[in-house]
Copies of this chain bind each other. A is one copy, B any other.
Amino acid sequence: MEQHSIHIQSRGRGTIAINSEIDQLIRKSGIDTGLCHIFIHHTSASLIITENADSDVRRDLENYFSKIVVDGDPAYFHDQEGPDDMSAHIRSILTQTEISIPISAGRLAMGTWQGIYLWEHRTSPHRRSLTVTLHG
């Protein structure tokens, strides 16, 4: 079992593919069969696995979440950091803070159309910390 810290710089709200960072760690580890666990150390950015072929999927996800989780809803009590503060926490809850993915034949065993994305929910850029734990 080995653990790595990685850092991803976001440019504000949106998704960032992180497959290549993870695959590189797996290749270096030499693990053939096992599991890869990814944990994000924040409550206003999260992780998703979704379609990687057509970027419209992530555009539609963004639009969908903007509709069901309203920024600056006057009902929010927690709004110190602006209209995207509480909505970012809700988006985080509706998606994932951590994901485990099988490692097979020395690489991430995902479907052809699956990509791993860090989803920044704040509108301003943030440096995000993740811990990747590999075991096999």
Chain A residues within 8 Å of B, Cβ to Cβ: 1-3, 33-35, 37, 39, 41-43, 48-51, 54, 56-57, 59-61, 63-64, 67-69, 75-78, 80, 86, 89-90, 92-95, 97-102, 104, 109-111, 113-114, 129, 131, 133, 135-136
Smallest CB gap from A80: residue in B: B54
Of B1, B64, B86, B133, which is within 8 A of A90 by CB? B64
Of B77, B86, B135, which is within 8 A of A35 by CB? B135
- Additional pairs, 7, CB under 8 Å, beyond known A35-B135, A61-B90: A41-B114, A56-B77, A56-B78, A60-B77, A64-B69, A97-B114, A98-B100
A62 → chain B, closest Cβ, in Å? 11
A41 → chain B, closest Cβ, in Å? 3
Give the complex CA separation of A64 and B73 in angstroms: 10
Interface contact B37-A89, CB-CB below 8 Å: no
Residues in B with CB closer than 8 Å to A2 are: 33
Residues in B with CB closer than 8 Å to A113 are: 42-43
Smallest CB gap from A57: residue in B: B78
Residues in B with CB closer than 8 Å to A39 are: 100-102, 109
Smallest CB gap from A102: residue in B: B131
Q: Known A1-B136, A61-B89; judge A37-B94 contact (CB<8 A).
A: no
A104 → chain B, closest Cβ, in Å? 6
